Structure 1
Amino acid sequence: MKLRSLLFVPGDRPERFPKAVATGADALILDLEDAVAPDRKPEARAAVRAWIEAPREDGPAVFVRINPIDSDEAAADLEAIAGLSLDGIVLPKAEGASSVATLTDRLPGDYAILPVASETAAAVFQLGTFGSVAGRLAGLTWGAEDLPAAIGATSAREEDGSYTDPYRVVRALTLFGAHAAGVPAIETVFPDFRNLDGLAAYAARGRRDGFTGMLAIHPTQVAVINDAFTPSEADLAHARAVVAAFEANPGAGALQLDGKMIDAPHLKSARRLLALVA
């Protein structure tokens, strides 16, 4: 499943579902949690179920974000999506592998699960546990909005929009937790949806650091995110050249390519990039 861009769509706004399909997002996340007011959640569940059940042409992967698994709303969410042909479930406020196991116990089926894995203080200490449920995961992502609220912080960001030190740590732990589990690392949202230049820079940093995709909150963000997480022809050409150099010199530990030294980590990175594209 290709997951460069994952676009949130409020579950109680079914008129937006077809428009979201047309954005080119790799996945839609039909939201039953934060984007829906409590008194509209029954309406949202009905709208999401009706749209997923209706015939439609091939398009993006379809996920549903349920309410936290320990909340009163979760049971109604799971009843509403039971048996649907959807690609996955976004699990908010996940606290490690045990939250994933609880969800799989309560909802039969082989749905892929994308935990939002950093929204409580306890969750931060469980970011290394997802390897035991990796076979059920679509990836791992994080959030920088709920965690500050959970611990009484005033913000996760400096005045220039960069993260403060505690949230840099959480971002890094999520990134390494995903890679330790062998699943895609999905960067969190960029809230300033009108600032596309800022988004492009943010997404580029995410790809540089090892994220393979990103959450989107507005249709205009999708193309920018897709571009950031799509390797350029120059990137691919370099990766092929690295692989070819080592294939031509199978006993070499290090080689020169374009005037620079390359060794085993460069080969591993090149193979990973080519595999991702394939």
Structure 2
Amino acid sequence: MRQARSYLFVPGERPARFAKAAASGADAIVLDLEDAVGPGSKDAARAQVCDWLAAGGPGIVRINGADTPWLAQDLAALEAFPHVAVMVPKAEPEAVAHVAALLPGRPLLALVETVAGLAHLRETACHPAVTRLAFGNLDFGADARIPGVAEVLDPARFEIALASRLGGLPQPIEGVTVELSDPEALRDDIRRARLRGFGAKLCIHPSQVAPVNEGFAPTAGEIDWARRILAALAAAAGSVVQVDGKMVDRPLIDRARQILGDAEPAPA
């Protein structure tokens, strides 16, 4: 079954939005206890997220960072929900190891948001608890003191894509697009991210979900090509295969299988 393409953030202090986010068509919702929640609302947000989870509501929980006074309470609260995945902000090896030790067996999404996180990324990607990498483009640009979040950060994206492959992880998750009134900006970001090896995107508004799901899906032409590759391979019975005048070798076969896997229905 294909990996999730769209991850929709919803503030943990806005419980009225939880069900709407879950019904938005996003493959996953991220119940945010970090950036979307002010210091004075952390306890209330945590309690509201726990109430939602206790009632069977879905969601990944973005916890507070290791450099904050709220992390310990977040982790203690999540012990009651062993099925819930956790997004680790400012993911660096020590922070990931700390969360994994206190929530053993928990799937972790590592959000790369700092220069130190990028410098030690391959260690993070190979941690057994980490199931996917995500790029926190806004925070990373600020930490790196690099203005802009588009092409100027592509070297970081390249490293994230490589680390994902090294760690045997799915294609990584692209960061957010903040322009909510510019659909073309979102489409451009999706197109560029896909070309750079990313397979999903963080969303900050429900209106972004459908374009993200569509933009990261294989095209009809890609699906047709993949089917013809595998059909020719099956018919060849071990002989050399050519499709569209090109010899079919292992990388093309792997790519064809990936495309058809990505074309499967969304995960439950």
Query: Above 0.5 in TM-score?
Result: yes
Aligned AA for 2:102? Answer: R
- Matched residue, 1:127: 121
Report the counterpart of residue 275 of structure 1 in structure 2. Answer: 261
Q: Which amino acid counterpart does residue 148 of structure 2 have in structure 1?
A: A
Aligned position for 1:111: 106
Which protein, 1 or 2, shows the higher relative CO under an 8 Å CA cutoff with sep ≥ 6?
Answer: 2
Task: Please report how far the alpha carbon of residue 229 of structure 1 lies from its aligned counterpart in structure 2 after TM superposition.
Answer: 1.6
Superposed CA offset, 1:27-57 (max 9, x none): 010000011111111111011011111145x
- CA gap 1:203/1:151 in 2 versus in 1, 3 angstroms: closer
Matches of 1:208 and 1:90 in 2, distance apart? 24
1:3 alignment counterpart = 4
- Alignment counterpart, residue 156 of structure 1, candidates 148, 155, 158: 148
Q: Does 1:206 align with 2:207?
A: no
Tell me, in whole angstroms, the C-alpha distance in 2 between the residues paired with 1:21 and 1:151.
34
Deviation at 1:143, TM superposition (A): 1.5
- In the TM superposition, what is the alpha-carbon distance from 1:151 to its structure 2 partner? 3.8
| Distance apart, 1:24 and its partner CA | 0.5
Q: So what's the TM-score if we normalise by structure 1? A: 0.86
2:6/2:26 contact within 8 Å kept: yes
- The percent identity for this pair of structures is 36
Distance 1:131 1:93, change over 3 A: closer
Task: Specify the SS of the correspondent of 1:138.
Answer: strand
Pair 1:186 & 2:173 matched = yes
Deviation at 1:270?
0.6
- CA-based RMSD of the aligned residues comes to 2.0
* Aligned mates of 1:246, 1:204 — CA distance in 2: 30
The equivalent residue for 2:69 is 72
Equivalent in the alignment of 2:250: 264
3-state secondary structure, aligned to 1:123 = helix
Distance 1:151 1:238, change over 3 A: closer
SS in 1 for 2:181: coil
Matched with 1:177 is: 163
Q: For 1:168-224, what per-residue CA distance to the aligned partner results, in whole angstroms no more than 9, with x for missing partners?
A: 111110111111111121111111122222212321232233212111111000000
Residue matched to 2:137: 144
TM (normalized to structure 2)? 0.89
Residue type of the partner of 1:173?
E
User: What runs of 5+ residues in structure 1 fail to find an aligned partner?
Assistant: none
